[in-house]
């Protein structure tokens, strides 16, 4: 007997696709915008939205859609149960106090970098990769650090999608190998204008990279302190990694 289409893997993927778009955009979206981002037909999208609203994963207000209360409960459950966030938080606070700058915890999910947690700088002029924000796994210190430390096969798949041209792909690979060798990635203005960042990998059991610790500062304030900030970040990342690798 054939399973109903609503329970097929393809249908489940479409439901998750709608939720992922709502999460990644970080704002309310119209049905037309959701259609553009998902590529779904209007009838399919409305059917999925109706199901998600019934379960409380999506809210609708005046024709616009946003994550619902069940999505917030999932986020709260993640905050309370995430071993990575719990382990990293004390050293993130210590690094933010030492540097007087913002510090983020970022992970790779498919082809994006997602911020799991942030400790904001106490300075009035500050830079932050706000919690929950996602960017393509391509530009910026966090994304480059994460991409450089992916398993070779996963890294090469992302590069293949990003750089169809072989010469550009080889150049990008060489840059990532240099980041892996150095132990950190450093960029300025690649994601947000005027923002400098340095990112060091976090390792769990068996030296498997599980995320990145990123220090962010205005370019003007980072000038002359790049090396010191990089050292601080790598030391903090090493402390977190030791905790993550303990049984």
Under 8 Å between Cβ of 33 and 65: no
What is the pLDDT, as a whole number, of residue 109? Answer: 79
CA distance 169 to 18: 31
Partner residues linked to 140 by β-bridges:
none
The third-level CATH classification (topology) of the domain covering 82-245 is: Beta-Lactamase (3.30.450)
How much is the pTM?
A: 0.71
- The whole-number average pLDDT for the span 55-75 is 78
CATH 3.30.450.40 residue spans of the chain: 82-245
Tens of pLDDT, residue by residue over 167-179, are 999 999 999 999 9
Q: Is 6 helix (H, G, I), strand (E, B) or coil?
A: helix
CA distance 102 to 213: 11
Tens of pLDDT, residue by residue over 131-150, are 778 888 888 999 999 999 99
CATH 1.10.10.10 residue spans of the chain: 5-73
Under 8 Å between Cβ of 101 and 93: no
What is the pLDDT, as a whole number, of residue 78? Answer: 63
Residue with tokens 């990998």: 201
Tens of pLDDT, residue by residue over 23-53, are 877 778 899 999 999 999 999 999 999 988 8
Whole-number mean pLDDT of the chain? 86
- In this prediction, residue 89 has a pLDDT band, given cuts at 50, 70 and 90, of very high
Determine the angle formed by the axes of helices 42-55 and 31-38, rounding to 10 degrees.
110
CATH of the domain spanning 5-73: 1.10.10.10
Under 8 Å between Cβ of 139 and 190: yes
Burial of 202 (0-12, 13-18, 19+ CB in 10 A): buried
């Amino acid at each position: 007997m054939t399973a109903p289409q609503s329970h097929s893997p393809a249908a489940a993927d479409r439901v998750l696709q709608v939720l992922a778009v709502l999460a990644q955009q970080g704002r309310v979206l119209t049905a037309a915008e959701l259609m553009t981002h998902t590529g779904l037909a209007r009838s399919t999208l409305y059917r999925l939205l109706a199901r998600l609203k019934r379960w409380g994963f999506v809210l609708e207000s005046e024709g616009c859609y946003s994550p619902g209360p069940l999505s917030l409960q999932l986020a709260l459950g993640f905050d309370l149960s995430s071993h990575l966030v719990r382990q990293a938080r004390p050293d993130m606070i210590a690094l933010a106090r030492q540097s007087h700058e913002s510090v983020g915890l970022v992970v790779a999910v498919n082809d994006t970098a997602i911020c799991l947690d942030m400790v904001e700088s106490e300075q009035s002029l500050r830079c932050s990769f706000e919690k929950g924000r996602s960017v393509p796994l391509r530009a910026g210190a966090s994304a480059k650090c994460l991409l450089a430390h992916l398993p070779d096969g996963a890294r090469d798949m992302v590069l293949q999608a990003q750089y169809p041209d072989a010469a550009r792909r080889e150049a990008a690979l060489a840059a990532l190998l240099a980041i892996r060798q150095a132990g950190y990635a450093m960029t300025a203005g690649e994601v947000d204008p005027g923002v400098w960042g340095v990112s060091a990998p976090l390792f769990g059991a068996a030296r498997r990279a599980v995320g990145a610790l990123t220090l962010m500062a205005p370019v003007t304030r980072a000038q002359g302190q790049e090396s010191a900030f990089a050292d601080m970040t790598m030391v903090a990342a090493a402390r977190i990694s030791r905790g993550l690798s303990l049984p």
